[in-house]
Amino acid sequence: MPRIVSLIPSATEIVHRLGLTDALVGRSHECDYPVQVKNLPICTEPKFNPEGTSQEIHDRVTNLLQSALSVYRVKTDVLEELQPTHILTQAQCEVCAVSLADVEQAVGTLVSSQPQIISLQPNRLSELWTDLDRVASAFGISAVALTADLQTRIDFCVEKTRLLSAAERPMVACIEWIEPLMAAGNWIPELVNLAGGQSLFGTVGQHSPWLKWEDLIQANPEAIVIMPCGFDLERTVQEARTLQQHPDWATLRAVQTDRVYVTDGNQYFNRPGPRLVDSLEILAEILHPNRFSFGYKGHGWRRFGDR
C-alpha cells in the first residue's frame, strides 16, 4: 500500500473521496477533513501567527514575504520518520499552503525515502477534474465514478437555473479577504455563474484581485457573499463586522435589501477539491432559495446579521 503525505487540504479531500484515506500517513497543519485525518502526524507549520484580524494577518504575511521565499515550513524530520511514497502539494498560491519549491527542497534532504511529488494547480473547475484523474492515476485507480457524481450535481444546479432571465440572475460580489479588500477569482466566478448569478469581480482561471472600495461602491452589487480564505463561519461573522465601519457600507444595494451573506470559506470555497461542488450548491441556495434547499444554511453559510 502507498504511504501518502498530503500537504494541502484539498488534496487530502481528493485522496479521501478516491477511497485512499487509509493510505494517508501524514498531513499539513491545515488538513482537517475528513475528521479522522486530524490524528495523523503534522508535516508543516506556518512561520507567522495565523490568529488576529485579516489586516493583522495580511501585514504579517506581507512582511514575511519581503524577507523569505515562503511563509510555511516543511517538517523534514517528520517526513524522514514517515517514509512516504507520495507527497501531494500545490503550486498555486504561496500564501495558501507550502510551496512546491519548499517540498522539493525538503525531499532532497531525505535519506530514508525518495517519494514521488504530485503537485496540483487548479485554477478553474475543469482543472479539478484533471487533478482527480492525476491523483487517481498515480495510485492505479479510476476517478470516473467520482467525477461523474460531481458532474451530476453540477448539472442539477445548471438545469434548474437554465431558463432564468438576466434580470433574475443577481449581480454578485464575492469577497475573499476583508482588510484589505480582495475579490474572489479562480473558480469562484465560474461557480457564481453556474449557480444562477452574475459575478462582478474576478476572472475565471485567474488569481483573486485586490478590490478598491470605490469599485465596490460603483458596482453596487445585488448580493455580497463573504468567504475569507482560512476563516470558518464564526470567524467570518466577526471579521465581516469591520465592513460595517466603512462610511459607504450602508449605501450598498445588497446591504439595504439584506442580501449580504457570510460563509465558511475555509471548508468550502477556498479548497479546490470535491467540495467545490458543495460550494456551488451553497451559492445556489443563497442566490435562489426558492429553487434550492441543500441544507447548508446555518453551518456552511448564513445571512449576515442573523443569529
CATH T-level fold of 167-303: Rossmann fold (3.40.50)
Residue 206, strand partner residues: none
What separation, in Å, do the N-terminal and C-terminal C-alpha atoms of the chain show?
47
Measured on CA atoms in the order 233, 239, 244, 248, is the torsion positive or negative?
negative
Interval 166-207: pLDDT, tens: 999 999 999 999 999 999 999 999 999 999 999 999 899 898
Interval 102-157: pLDDT, tens: 888 887 888 678 899 999 988 999 999 999 999 999 999 999 999 999 999 999 99
Distance CA 203, CA 190 (A): 8
Query: How much is the pLDDT for 196?
Result: 98
Query: How much is the pLDDT for 222?
Result: 98
Q: Which long-range contacts (C-beta less than 8 Å, at least 24 apart) are formed by 114-118? A: 115/3, 115/5, 115/84, 115/85, 115/86, 115/87, 116/85, 116/86, 116/87, 117/86, 117/87, 117/89, 118/11, 118/86, 118/87, 118/88, 118/89
Interval 39-97: pLDDT, tens: 999 999 887 667 778 888 777 767 766 766 677 888 999 999 999 999 999 876 666 66
Query: How much is the pLDDT for 278?
Result: 98
Query: How much is the pLDDT for 96?
Result: 63
Query: How much is the pLDDT for 64?
Result: 67
- Measured from the Cβ of residue 117, the count of other Cβ atoms closer than 10 Å reads 17
Query: How much is the pLDDT for 56?
Result: 80
pTM above the 0.85 mark? yes
pLDDT average, residue stretch 98-102: 78
| Domain range annotation of the chain | 4-144, 167-303
- Per DSSP bridges, beta strands 182-183 and 171-177 are antiparallel
Query: How much is the pLDDT for 94?
Result: 61
Interval 255-281: pLDDT, tens: 999 999 999 999 999 999 999 999 999
Query: How much is the pLDDT for 92?
Result: 61
Distance CA 157, CA 161 (A): 6
Interval 13-46: pLDDT, tens: 999 999 999 999 999 999 999 999 999 999 998 8
Interval 204-238: pLDDT, tens: 989 899 999 999 999 999 999 999 998 999 999 99
Do the domains spanning 4-144 and 167-303 agree at the CATH topology level?
Answer: yes
* Nearest residue to 306 (alpha-carbon basis) of 260, 252, 248, 245: 260
CATH T-level fold of 4-144: Rossmann fold (3.40.50)
Query: How much is the pLDDT for 304?
Result: 95
